[in-house]
Chains A and B, each alone.
Chain A
Amino acid sequence: MDIKFALETFWSLAAALPLTLELAVTSIALGSVLALALALSRLSGILALDLFARTYVFLFRGTPLLVQIFLIYYGLSQFPAVRHSIFWPLLREPYWCAVLALMLNTAAYASEIIRGGLISVPHGQVEAARACGMGRFMIFRRIVMPQALRQALPGYGNEMISMVKATSLASIITLMEITGVAAKLISESYRVIEVFVVAGFIYLAINFALTRLVAFAEARLNPHLRAPLAISAELKGETH
């Protein structure tokens, strides 16, 4: 492996890092709002909303993300109504098409994770809140949501990691994020191994940082599960 070339590669790939992060953060943030709405629709007990959310999840989880990206980026331009609408300046941009596809896709997966978190909240908690005189919205905000978040966080962490990986597909619709630059470098230099190792290292670093971040949030959200303080070690007589 050529160290000098690998270093050069590292700097050109690092320049593409902001775009990768931007794609991931934007689509995860927008997707989580939609996911919450979908999860609440499924639990609403209103048949039309429930059916809509079920169909949505079925469609988006059953088809490849790349097909969804192509449908939005290439497909929508087939309709003159879309081309003449006010959304066209956005839908013409590969960036927003990628964000839209990633967001719609992650919402389907995340809604199931959030739904699992919501139904894991014991009914007694809601009953107790109601007995305290809380309204429906306050119960949701103060009792249900915090506990659901705790339950859903590990699963959501996995979904965030797959989203970071999924941003690589944006390179297929011409966006020069890390994988896009890597593919360009490979086809220019034919040095596959170096580029692959450096690009892989960057993705691993992002995902490692993300895992740590989620673990930190998990520890903060679950103070009651933390290990007892170090005093127990002293009591056991292990200190010198």
Chain B
Amino acid sequence: MTEPGFLDIISFGPDGWGPALAAGAWMTILIAISGFAIGGLIGTFGAWAKIAGGPVVRACAEAYTTILRGIPDLLVIYLFYFGGSAVVTAVGQLFGAEGFVSFPGFIAGALAVGITSGAQQTEVYRGAFRAVHPGELEAATACGMGRLLKFRRITAPLTLRYALPGLGNVWQVVLKESALVSVTGVVELLRQAQIGAGSTSRPFDFFFIAAMIYLAISTVSGLILQVTERRFQRGVRRG
């Protein structure tokens, strides 16, 4: 067996690792997007709790963000992966299944990434909401909008406008955090690179390519964010 060269590794030919790495990159993007979306949902409720909640709700939100920003993401991933497996196993035994049932790594990973990014997004949305001029919200109430309509038409778009730069940062963090999900065995980009490194003797090449793909994803998504930001800023007069 001949050793593959650097170009063989990235090629899409019969011996190339191109398709596998591309599939891994796609999985990375999927994990990052799901985690970011879950985080967005949590962040919205977290920000709402911090802004409008009573003392108990506010304290809960405060505890959530403090804890999740103070402990390593890897620990949270382990919690969801092993904890999820424990729950699934218990439920399985209830229905007569034998032995250990493992929790899908993708779901555990997306949840863990979502919970950690939710803490960051809570702070981003909270800060952005404070930048919205209260007069605009009052005007919406004066027009007779209900709470939901006001949120959908006025509060959400205006908050999003101010939140976008911060959300861009959170997205970059989420993208890099998704690499940690590889510990659960999900074949995303880093795991695929590990598999490649293990079955050839070219670990540097594989991890280098993985690094370059991460760089490409973060650069491209950074550009997309810039364009989106500009779109949301239209209609804002600049001084």
Contacts and interface: CB of A to CB of B under 8 A. Distances in A.
B151 to A, nearest CB: 32
Contact-residue size bin, chain A (C-beta under 8 Å from the other chain):
35 or more
A63 B215 contact: yes
Contacts of A56: none
Interface string B207-227: 110110011001100000000
B74 A204 contact: no
Interface in A161-194: 161, 165-169, 171-172, 179, 182-183, 186-187, 190, 192-193
Given A63-B211, A172-B183, A190-B86, A79 B204 contact: yes
B83 A70 contact: no
B208 A203 contact: no
Most chain B CB within 10 A, of A59, A66, A179, is at A66
A74 B195 CA distance: 12
Contacts of A204: 66-67, 70-71
A67 B210 contact: yes
B204 A76 contact: yes
Nearest to A170: B74
Most chain A CB within 10 A, of B201, B207, B211, is at B207
A169 B72 CA distance: 9
Interface in B52-105: 66-67, 70-75, 78-79, 82-83, 86
Contacts of B82: 186-187, 190, 192
B194 interface: yes
Contacts of B205: 78
Given A66-B182, A200-B67, A59 B74 contact: no
A67 B74 contact: no
A66 B190 contact: yes
A75 B179 contact: no
B11 to A, nearest CB: 19
A128 interface: no
B185 interface: no
Query: Which DSSP category, helix, strand, loop or mixed, fits chain B's interface?
Result: helix
Given A62-B219, A74-B197, A165-B71, A67 B78 contact: no
Interface residues of B, number: 38
Given A190-B86, A200-B67, A78 B75 contact: no
B208 A192 contact: no
Contact of A63 (B70, B79, B176): B176
A161 B73 CA distance: 13
A66 B193 CA distance: 12
B203 A203 contact: no
B202 interface: yes
Contacts of A168: 72-75
B180 interface: yes
A236 B235 CA distance: 50
Given A63-B214, A71-B208, 15 more contacts: A62-B219, A63-B211, A64-B214, A66-B179, A68-B211, A70-B193, A74-B197, A78-B201, A168-B73, A182-B75, A190-B86, A192-B78, A192-B86, A203-B71, A203-B72
- Going nearest first, the 10 A-B pairs with the smallest beta carbon separation are A75-B204, A168-B72, A64-B179, A64-B176, A74-B203, A78-B204, A192-B83, A165-B72, A63-B211, A62-B215
26 contacts: A58-B215, A62-B215, A63-B176, A63-B214, A64-B190, A65-B176, A66-B179, A67-B193, A67-B207, A71-B208, A74-B203, A75-B203, A78-B204, A168-B73, A168-B74, A179-B72, A179-B74, A182-B78, A190-B82, A192-B82, A196-B83, A203-B71, A203-B72, A203-B75, A204-B66, A204-B67
Interface of B: 66-67, 70-75, 78-79, 82-83, 86, 175-180, 182-183, 190, 193-194, 197, 201-205, 207-208, 210-211, 214-215, 218-219
